[in-house]
Chains A and B, each alone.
Chain A
Amino acid sequence: MGNSQPLSSWADWLKPQRNRMIVLMILAAVAMVIPVVANNYLLEVLTNAWFYTILCLGLNIVVGYAGLLDLGYAAFFAVGAYTTGILTSKFGFNFWLTIPFAVGCSMLAGVIIGGPTLRLRSDYLAIVTLGFGEIVRIIARNLEITGGASGLIGIERPYFFGIQLNQGIHFYYVFLLLAIAACYVSYRLQHSRLGRAWQYVREDEDAAEAMGIDRVGVKLHAYVIGAMFGGIAGCFFAAKMTAISPETFTFAQSVLILLGVVLGGMGKIPGVIVGAFALVLFPEVFRGVGSMRMLIFAIVMLVIMLYRPEGIWPRVKS
C-alpha cells in the first residue's frame, strides 16, 4: 500500500495534464526542428520572436502577476545590454562573466526605482517608470563610456565550448533555450508562495495586507525579478547584435513589450507567448503598414482593453 501510493498519485497528476504535455512536446519538437528547414529570413524573425517572448515574460511578472504598470521596461533591458557591452568591449571581459554583473546591475536598477515608488499609489509607479526609462536612455546617450549617441560597437560574440556563436542558427537556439527557461521560471513563480501573494495583492491589496502579506515587499520582488529577466535578455541581445545604441531602448520599445503582455492575456504564460509572436509576426506579414504599425497596435490595445480586458487568451479563473 505504502509503495503504490506515490505511483498512483503520479499517474493522477499526469492524467489531466497529459493532453497538455503532448501538445507542449510537439510544440517544443517543432521549435527545435524548424531551423533545419527554415531560411535565414524566417530564422531571424523567429529568433526575434523568442527574444520578445523573454522580455514579455519578464514584464508579465510585473504587470500580469503583481498588477503593476511598468512603462519603462526597456530601461532594464538597456542596463543589461550596456553592462555586457561595456564590460566586453572596454574591459575585455569574457561574455559569460558579464552575465552576473548584468543581472546584478538590472536588479539594482529595479531596487532603486521600485523601492521608493512601490509604497505610493500604483499610478505613480507607472509614470515614474516612464520617467526612469527616459533617464536611462538619456544617460546612455550622453555618457562617454556608453559610446554616446552612436552607441557601442564591436561587442565580441561569445564562445561556447570552443565554438563561436556567430550564425543565425546559434542565436535561434540560444534565445529558444532562454525562452524555455523563462517559461519554466515564470511557471514555478506563478505557483509558488510568492506567486499566490502577488495574485492576492493584485486582486485586493488591503485584504492581502490584513492577511499579513508584506505588500511593498512582494511588489518589490516582482519588480526586481522582472528586471532580472530584462537584464538577461539585454546581455544576449548585445552579444547577438554586437552593437547597441540608445535608440533601441525608447519608450516605444517599452510600450511594444507591454503590448505583447496585454495582447495575449496578462498573467498567462501561453497567452504572453502568443502575444510576443503576434508582436513580431504582424509587421512581417503586413509589410505595407510600415510606419502605421504603432498606430494599429495602439488601436488594438484600446479595443482589447474595452472589449476583452483579459486579452486574447485569458487566464482561467477558478
Chain B
Amino acid sequence: MSNLDIILQQLANGIILGSFYALVALGYTMVYGIIKLLNFAHGDLYMVGGFVGFVFLSALSGLLGTSWAAITFSMVLSMLAVGLLGVIIQRVAYQPMLNAPRLSILITALAVSMILANGVMAVTDGEYMAFTTDLGYDGLDFGNVFISYTQLVLVVSASVLMIVLTLFVHKTLYGKAMRAIAIDQDACRLMGINVNRVIALTFFIGSSLAAAAGVMAGVYYGSLHFSMGFVIGLKAFTAAVIGGIGSIPGAMLGGLVLGILEAFGTQIPFVGSEWRDVFSFGLLILLLIVKPTGMLGKTEIERM
C-alpha cells in the first residue's frame, strides 16, 4: 500500500469512528448547554441503547430477518426507549439536584452511570453479546482503499440524524425554546416557556441520539459489552470540548476531528493502537490547557 492509500483508508476509518463520537457528543453538549450538567451517564445510555436495540432485533428477527429493515426498525424503537429512560433519569435523579452544590450533582450523575453499567452487567452476567446481522461484506473498492456498504450506510444515517437535529433546533418553536433556555433560564420562565418540558425534551433527544450510536456501534463492531459506555463517554466529552462544549455544530465537528486524529494518531511510529486512548485523553488535557473554549465555543466565566 502506498502512503496515499494509507491516508485515505485512515481518513475513511476516522470519519466512521468520528460519526459515532459526534452522535454521543451531541447529547453531552445539548444537556450541558441547557442545564450546565456534565451527564456522566451519557456514555452508558449509548451502551444501554446498543443492548436495547439488540433485544428488539432479536425479537424482530423472526418477522423481518436481520438485515437493514429490521435494524432500522429496532434502532428507532431503541431510540424511543432510551430517550424515555433519559427523561426518567432526569426527573428522578437530576431534577431534585438542580439547585444543589455542583459537587453533589456530579456525584449523582456518577452514581447513575454506575447503576446503568452495573445493572446491565448483572443482567448480561458481564458477557460479550454477539450482535449478529447479515449485511454481508460487500463494499466499494478503490484500489487499496476499501469502504463497506455497512460503513457507508452508518455514516449516512449518522449524518441524516445530525441534519434533522440541526433543522429541529433552528426551525421549530421547541428548538428556539432550547436555545433561549441555554442563554437565560429564568427569563424564559417569565416569558411563559415550560422550562421543565424543554429540559426533558433535551434529555430525550440527547439520549436517543446516544442510543442510535449504540445500535450503530453494535452493527459495526458486531458485539456489545456493558463496559463499552465508559470509554466512549470520555471520548465524546473530549469531542465536545474540542468543538466547544455547549455548541451543537461544535460537537459534530469535534467528533469528526477526534475520530480522524485517532485514526491517524495510531499510525504514528511508536503509537500503536494500545496507546489510542492515551493519545485522545492526552489531547483532551492539552486542549484544556491551550484552548479550553474549543473550536466553536464561547468564552464563559464560571459562576458557582
B140 contacts the other chain (Cβ, under 8 Å)? no
The answer on a CB contact under 8 Å between B103 and A124 is no
In the bound assembly, the distance between CA atoms of A261 and B228 in angstroms comes to 27
User: Which of A63, A126, A142, A291 has the most chain B CB atoms closer than 10 A to its own CB?
Assistant: A126
Min CB gap A147→B, angstroms: 15
Which chain B residues lie closer than 8 Å to A298 at the CB level?
111, 114-115, 118
In the complex, the answer to whether B281 meets A135 with C-beta atoms within 8 Å is yes
Residue B55 lies at the interface, judged by CB distance under 8 Å to chain A? no
The answer to whether A292 touches B114, judged by C-beta atoms less than 8 angstroms apart, is: no
Docked pose: A130 CA to B241 CA in angstroms: 15
The answer to whether the Cβ of B139 comes within 8 Å of any Cβ in the partner chain is no
Tell yes or no: A120 within 8 A of B by CB: yes
Give the residue name and chain of the B residue nearest to A297 (CB).
B114
B233 to chain A, nearest CB (A): 9
Q: Contact at B118–A305, with CB atoms within 8 Å?
A: no
Asked if A124 contacts B303 (CB within 8 A), the reply is: no
Within 8 A of B (CB), among A75-126: 113, 116-117, 120-124, 126
A306 touches B102 (CB 8 A): no
Question: In the assembled complex, which residues on chain B have CB atoms less than 8 Å from the CB atom of A128?
Answer: 284-285, 288
**Among the listed B110, B122, B302, which residue makes an inter-chain contact with A292, where contact means beta carbons less than 8 Å apart?**
B122
Min C-beta distance of B24 to chain A, whole Å = 14
Whether B96 pairs with A306 at a CB distance below 8 angstroms is yes
Whether A309 and B104, one on each chain, are in contact in the complex, defined by CB atoms closer than 8 angstroms, is yes
Q: Contact: A138 with B277, CB < 8 Å?
A: yes
- Nearest-CB distance from A189 to chain B (Å)? 19
Shortest beta-carbon distance, A86 to chain B, in Å?
19
Q: Are B274 and A142 in contact (CB under 8 A)?
A: yes
A247 at the interface (CB under 8 A from B): no
B97, A132: Cβ atoms closer than 8 Å: no
Chain A neighbourhood of B103, CB < 8 A? 63, 67-69, 122, 266
User: CB within 8 A of A295: which of B108, B119, B237?
Assistant: B119
Per the 8 Å Cβ criterion, residues 37-73 of A in contact with B are 63, 67-69, 71
Residues of A within 8 A of B237 (CB): 127
* B19, chain A: closest CB distance, angstroms: 22
With contact pairs A206-B304, A295-B115, A295-B122 given, residues A116 and B108 touching in the complex (Cβ less than 8 Å): no
Distance A301 CA – B106 CA, assembled complex (angstroms): 12
Residues of B within 8 A of A142 (CB): 274-275
- Flag if B119 contacts A135 (CB, 8 Å): no
Q: Which residues of A contact B231 (CB under 8 A)?
A: 134
**A210 CB, min distance to chain B CBs, angstroms:** 13
Task: List chain B residues, Cβ under 8 A from A255.
Answer: 110, 114
Question: Please, which residues of chain B bring their CB within 8 A of the CB of A251?
Answer: 230
Chain A proximity of B227: nearest CB distance (Å): 9
Residue among A63, A120, A131, A142 with most chain B CB within 10 A: A131
**B126 is an interface residue with CB less than 8 A from chain A:** yes
**Cβ contact within 8 Å between B234 and A130:** yes
Q: Considering only CB atoms and an 8 Å cut-off, how many residues of chain B contact the other chain? A: 42
With a cutoff of 8 Å between Cβ atoms, the chain A residues found around residue B115 in the complex are 295, 298-299, 302
Verify if B107 is at the interface (C-beta below 8 Å from A): yes
Q: Are B100 and A132 in contact (CB under 8 A)?
A: no
Are B234 and A302 within 8 A (Cβ)?
Answer: no
A309 to B107, CA, bound (A): 10
Contact B122 A206 (CB under 8 A): no
Complex contacts, A266 vs chain B, CB 8 Å = 103
Interface hits, A126-146 → B, CB 8 Å = 126-128, 130-132, 134-135, 138-139, 141-142
A302:B93 contact, CB within 8 angstroms: yes
Contact A132 B107 (CB under 8 A): no
CA of A264 to CA of B237 in the docked complex: distance in angstroms? Answer: 30
Closest to A309 in B: B104
Q: Is B4 an interface residue (CB 8 A)?
A: no
Does any Cβ of B come within 8 Å of A294's Cβ? yes
User: How many whole Å from A39's CB to the nearest CB in chain B?
Assistant: 32
Chain B residues within 8 Å of A63, by CB = 103
Q: Which of B50-104 contact A (CB under 8 A)?
A: 93, 96-97, 100-104
The answer, yes or no, to whether B112 is at the interface (CB within 8 Å) is: yes
- Pairwise interchain contact A122-B112, C-beta atoms closer than 8 A: no
Say if the beta carbon of A262 comes within 8 Å of chain B.
yes
User: Which of A68, A113, A135, A302 meets B278, CB within 8 Å?
Assistant: A135
Given known contacts A131-B234, A206-B304, A294 and B114 CB-to-CB distance under 8 angstroms: yes
Given contacts A132-B281, A138-B278, A305-B107, contact A126 B112 (CB under 8 A): no
| A69-B282 contact in complex given A138-B277, A306-B96, C-beta closer than 8 Å | no
Within 8 A of A (CB), among B256-292: 274-275, 277-278, 281-282, 284-285, 288-289, 292
Decide if B121 is an interface residue (CB 8 Å cutoff).
Answer: yes
Q: Which residues of A contact B (CB under 8 A)?
A: 63, 67-69, 71, 113, 116-117, 120-124, 126-128, 130-132, 134-135, 138-139, 141-142, 204-206, 251, 255, 258, 262, 266, 291-292, 294-295, 297-299, 301-302, 305-306, 309
Q: Could you show 9 A-B contacts with beta carbons less than 8 Å apart? A: A63-B103, A116-B285, A121-B302, A123-B38, A126-B106, A131-B234, A131-B284, A258-B110, A291-B121
Q: Which residues of B contact A (CB under 8 A)?
A: 38, 93, 96-97, 100-104, 106-108, 110-112, 114-115, 118-119, 121-122, 126, 230-231, 234, 237-238, 241, 274-275, 277-278, 281-282, 284-285, 288-289, 292, 302-304
The 5 closest A-B pairs by CB, nearest first: A298-B114, A131-B281, A295-B118, A302-B111, A116-B289
